[in-house]
Amino acid sequence: MPTSVPALSLEGVSVSYGHVRAVTDVSFTAHPGRVVALLGPNGAGKSTLLRAICNQATKVSGRVTLFGADISTTRTHRITHRGVALVPEGRRVIAPLTVQENLQVAAGGARRLEPRDRTAAIERVYHLFPPLQRLRDRPSALLSGGEQQMVAIGRALVARPDVLLLDEPSMGLAPVMVETIYGFLKEHGATLGETAVVLAEQNRSALAVADEVVVLSRGRVVHAGPASSLPEDVLTEAYLGSATPEPPVPASSGAN
Amino acid sequence: MDFWLQQTVNGIVLGSVYALYASGFGLVMASLRIFHVAHAAVFTWGAVVAWDLTTRLGWPLVATLPVVMLAAGLLNVAAYFLLIRHLLKRQDAELAAFISSMGGLIILVEVAHHLLDGAVERMPAGVFPVSPLELGPVRITTLHATMVVVSIGLIALLAWGMAHTQAGREVRTVAADRETASLLGINVDRVSAGVFFASGALAGLAAAMVATAFNVVSADLGSGYLVIALAAMVVGGFGSVAGALAGGLLIGVASTYATGYLDSSYRDLVVFALLLGFLVVRPTGLFHTRSELARV
């Protein structure tokens, strides 16, 4: 178990959408150089949790810290400046901008990058994802899903983040492209270096690259531990649910 | 032929100011998806400030222009923070912001009415050295030539900046997706305020030139030009800076032809006919389609 200061720590985080509690009392940590897989079925609260880390979802309680500093109420763009990068669900590339422009915007928004280092940081992304090189002047709207995912991940890596949050990177992609994306995560673990990675996925493919796993069900943590010793029944129950479905938890019922 | 040439040049002069007004209005519409009608009041106040500085302080027009642009830009930034910003997270943000902006327009125009005591004021003579220039059979004044050069030059600079600078890319990113923009480290409020500042500054500049060229300053000045700016945007293509220029010039030339060949009472008819014609035949405008919207 790592003993260093966690790059990212969530303590009792609860999130609501209106009157419905989407995430309840979630705690976990991500250490530098480690990959944490957030697993759970659709609606388990994975995306909400990643958005809450970036302060894009309303937290009703709990604390998020980055290397010990509280970022719970920090504005989203400042969280990015401080070294957190989110690859959002559905890629969210800036469609009218070219590949190169998407990367330029990300490099410009990365305050830790000196202006003179931006070009080199962008070229590094082309080195990591060679297929993007010939597409650099193409509007991102015209790319395939897999190519857009490379842009989205590349855009996050340009900033050389301390914490990389990946939300369903394999969603909607052809199997060969999923292999490419996960192949990248495996091969370039050294490239990511001390970056802590939180990888939210519906499917088990995340286990292939994860050091630790957190299983969510109905917005709650039902299991947390090393990825190598994940009990099969935990995953089965998380995905198939218990015999008696529970209704959504009202926001007023409290975090626990 | 000479008459046609003269009318065309007059139309370009008029159209260049329409384009300047429309490009600022379109910049806000493209980047925030809102119909910021209080832009018309910012235009009015640009003219009022220019009139005040030239009349009371005796400043020449050239000296007033930077001050007018700064004042109009800041007024528009204030409009963003007071009228628009807090509404952007609502589901009905576009409608709410339109109504709020309409409220701002009414208040600012009413204040201008009181300040001007309901009168139509004139710019003092000699604020800009006006002398005629002969270009073959066409006559144009130095003021009109300056208006064309300044307007087209600024619009070209704006279009270039949007395409080739980091600030331009950030504006286009915010226009396309505000949430993702903030995830990329962009301070969306700062970019939006910058867009409102640029938009207001362009409106102020256009207003000062209109007030001088047509020798009229009134509280309703901006509202009158609002529909023309809207028509220029529809004709040129919503959200496209190049489109605002093309649309403004086309509307300017068409309305000048209407005045010259028919009667001045036909001017608005021709503008609305063009507006409706484009909405029916080519709703995306001369310079393209929805995706251009985010290109600004």
Q: Is the pLDDT of residue A115 over 90?
A: no
Instruction: Report yes or no: A77 at the B interface, CB cutoff 8 Å.
Output: yes
**Cα separations in angstroms, B244 against A32, A114, A217, A221, B236:** 50, 36, 52, 54, 5
Which of A182, A230, A234 shows the shortest CA–CA distance to A208? A182
Q: Which of A17, A48, A77 to mutate to test the interface with B (most CBs of B within 10 A)?
A: A77
pLDDT tens-digit readout, B273-291: 988 998 898 888 887 644 4
User: Which residues in chain A are contacts of B164 at CB distance < 8 A?
Assistant: none
Which of A36 and B291 is assigned the larger pLDDT?
A36
The model's pLDDT over A203-230, given as tens digits with 9 standing for 90+, comes to: 777 888 888 999 998 899 988 989 888 8
CA–CA separation, B150 vs B146, rounded Å?
6
How many percent of chain A have pLDDT more than 70? Answer: 88
Q: Are residues B291 and A81, on separate chains, in Cβ contact within 8 Å? A: no
Nearest to A109 among B179, B186, B294 (CB): B186
What token pair was written down for A23? 């995430």
Alpha helix (H) ranges present in chain A?
Answer: 46-53, 76-81, 99-109, 118-128, 145-158, 175-187, 189-192, 232-240
pLDDT, tens only, A175-188: 777 777 777 777 66
Instruction: For chain A, say whether B183 makes contact (Cβ under 8 Å).
Output: yes
CA–chain centroid gap for B160, Å, is: 18
Pull the structure tokens for residue B264: 């001045």
pLDDT in tens, B102-161: 999 999 999 999 999 988 999 988 888 888 888 888 888 999 999 999 999 999 999 999
Instruction: Considering only the beta carbons, identify the residue of A54, A95, A104 that sits closest to B183.
Output: A54
> Using CA atoms, how far apart are residues B5 and A240, in angstroms rounded to an integer?
77
Please tell me the predicted confidence (pLDDT) of residue B291.
44
pTM score, whole prediction? 0.86
Residues above pLDDT 90, as percent of chain B: 60
pLDDT band for position A256 (cuts 50, 70, 90): very low
In chain B, what residues touch A137 (CB-CB under 8 Å)?
none
Which of A212, A210, A204, A199 has its CA nearest to residue A238? A204
Residues A138-162: what's their mean pLDDT? Answer: 90
Select from A88, A85, A89, A92 the least CA-distant residue to A148: A92
Using the Cβ of A106 and the Cβ atoms of chain B, whether some distance falls under 8 Å is answered with yes
Tokens of A234: 């935990």
pLDDT tens by residue, A37-53 = 999 888 889 999 999 99
Tell me the pLDDT tens digit for each residue of A79-99. 999 999 999 988 899 999 999
Q: Is the pLDDT of residue B48 over 90?
A: yes
Q: Distances in Å between the alpha carbon of B272 and those of A141, B60, B232, B233, B264?
A: 35, 36, 10, 13, 14
Query: Contacts of residue A111 in chain B, CB cutoff 8 Å?
Result: 185
CB < 8 Å to B187, chain A: 75, 77
> How large is the average pLDDT for residues B250-260?
92
Say yes or no for a CB contact (<8 Å) between B183 and A81.
no
Residue B289 sits at the chain A interface (C-beta within 8 Å):
no
Mean pLDDT of A154-160: 89
Domain residues of chain A, as ranges?
93-159
- Shortest CA distance to B232 belongs to which of B252, B260, B205? B252
pLDDT digits 0-9 by tens, B189-223: 999 999 999 999 999 999 999 999 988 999 999 99
Chain Cα centroid distance, residue B46: 11
Q: Which residues of chain A lie closer than 8 angstroms to B186, CB-CB? A: 77, 105, 109
Nearest CA among B39, B54, B16, B67 for reference residue B211: B54
Mutate to test the interface with A, among B171, B173, B184 (most CBs of A within 10 A): B184
Our CA-based measurement puts residue A98 at a distance from the nearest CA of chain B, in whole angstroms, of 10
Instruction: Please state the domain extents for chain B.
Output: 19-222
pLDDT confidence of residue B190:
95
pLDDT, tens digit (0-9, with 9 covering 90-100), for B90-104? 888 889 999 999 999
Query: What distance in Å separates the CA atoms of residue B151 and residue B21, rounded to the nearest whole number?
Result: 9
Residue A201 CA to residue A169 CA, distance in Å, equals: 7
Minimal-distance CA residue of chain B relative to A87: B183
Residue A63: per-residue pLDDT: 94
Question: Chain A partners of B166 at a C-beta cutoff of 8 Å?
Answer: 104-105, 108
